[in-house]
Chain A
Amino acid sequence: MRAVVHEMGIANSILEAVQKEANRYPGTRATKVGIRIGELAAIDEDALRFCFEVLARDTTLEALQLEIEFCPRKHRCDDCDCTFIVRDYDFRCPTCQKITVQCISGDELELAFVEVEEDEPSAVGTKSSQ
């Protein structure tokens, strides 16, 4: 699909993954999806939620909730091996002030979980999410 903002393609990928997962459990419907977004992932939450709503509208996933866990940028010091959260772009090790550090998290763009419930008899989809 065409994505004028990249959040559209990302929302679409999330919905596709949820649909695929839901298809593995006949008689259930997905109610919530959990994703993890790192601060270095270049994802705008409002844009993502907007795209998600637009794409899910009038599909079997219309009521799907989106739960976002934001992940801070974390570094590990090469020297003293401590791990720390980077604030205000200050990437130096807070313990030994060294700048030889490795980024160990903060660029996540991951699907964490899907919650499914038993289907209600009246819940009939009108359109696929594809």
Chain B
Amino acid sequence: MNRVPLEQKVLSENDRIAASLRERFRQHDVLCVNLISSPGSGKTTLLERTLEALPRNARVAVLTGDIQTENDAARLKRFGFPVKQITTGGTCHLDARMIERHLADWKLENLEILFIENVGNLVCPSSYDLGEAAKVVVLSVTEGEDKPLKYPSIFFKSELLVLSKIDLLPYVPFEVNAAEENARRIHPGMEVLRVSSQTRVGLASWLNWLQRKRNAFLQLKAETVS
């Protein structure tokens, strides 16, 4: 019997494609943000409010993933930006190959921000790198404030937590401070934004986060080039 050491990532093929996507995003100055949450937390609505708030000439695009239907793409296309639906047909997450395939006929040099709306699921998407600059996890106040403890992986890997539907706080027993504390037990120092897509409270801080993130992304590139 011979033991051969392997020492490689299980998802090395996905990671290889993700690395090539990340390099393309870097070359073309595209900030790619991967939005992840459970179904119904308000990812699509947050993107609607985001696209609505951006100037008409903003260079943004959206890839939106679902198991079935083109409904989300139809909702997001109303704002006039390039939007493409990825229907996975049963798969519970997006993988890097799906992103690569759906980007094939888009010119990355025309983009500044690419939003990827993952399939609603807090578990599986956390294992698949899509070449994004940041994962953002969305948690709505109609869920439990212990979700970060139940699904630690995605809270650990996400750079930002968006607490959504905060206009409902008066009507639900959600302890917003406990939720933030739980998120930081998994991910010390995690940045948290409280947002309502209905009243638009917190929307400016989200747009500001995107701007800051893109500036930091460009800055990093400038530093590594020089």
List chain A positions with a Cβ less than 8 A from chain B. Answer: 2-6, 9-10, 13-14, 16-17, 21, 25, 28, 31, 35, 39-43, 89-91, 99-101, 103, 106-107, 109-117
The answer to whether B6 and A113 touch across the interface, beta carbons within 8 angstroms, is yes
Q: Per-residue 0/1 for B112-131: is the Cβ within 8 Å of any A Cβ (1 yes, 0 no)?
A: 00000000000110111000
Complex interface: stretch among B57-65, B146-154, B199-207: B146-154
List chain B positions with a Cβ less than 8 A from chain A. Answer: 1-14, 88-93, 95, 123-124, 126-128, 149, 151-154, 156-157, 182, 185-186, 188-189
**B189: which A residues are within 8 A, CB to CB?**
100
Q: A40-B156, A41-B127, A89-B185 are in contact. Are A17 and B12 (CB under 8 A)?
A: yes
**B182: which A residues are within 8 A, CB to CB?**
89
A-B contact pairs, 18 of them (CB 8 A): A2-B89, A6-B127, A9-B91, A10-B127, A13-B11, A17-B6, A17-B8, A28-B2, A39-B152, A40-B156, A91-B188, A100-B188, A111-B9, A112-B6, A112-B7, A113-B4, A115-B4, A117-B1
- Chain B proximity of A99: nearest CB distance (Å): 6
Q: Which secondary structure dominates chain A's binding surface?
A: mixed
Residue of A nearest to B156 (CB): A40
**B91: which A residues are within 8 A, CB to CB?**
2-4, 9
Residue of B nearest to A111 (CB): B6
The answer to whether B11 and A42 touch across the interface, beta carbons within 8 angstroms, is no
**A111: which B residues are within 8 A, CB to CB?**
6-10
The answer to whether A101 and B188 touch across the interface, beta carbons within 8 angstroms, is yes
Q: With A and B bound together, what is the CA distance between A107 and B11 in angstroms?
A: 13
The answer to whether A113 and B3 touch across the interface, beta carbons within 8 angstroms, is yes
The answer to whether A109 and B127 touch across the interface, beta carbons within 8 angstroms, is yes
The answer to whether B153 and A41 touch across the interface, beta carbons within 8 angstroms, is yes
**B126: which A residues are within 8 A, CB to CB?**
42
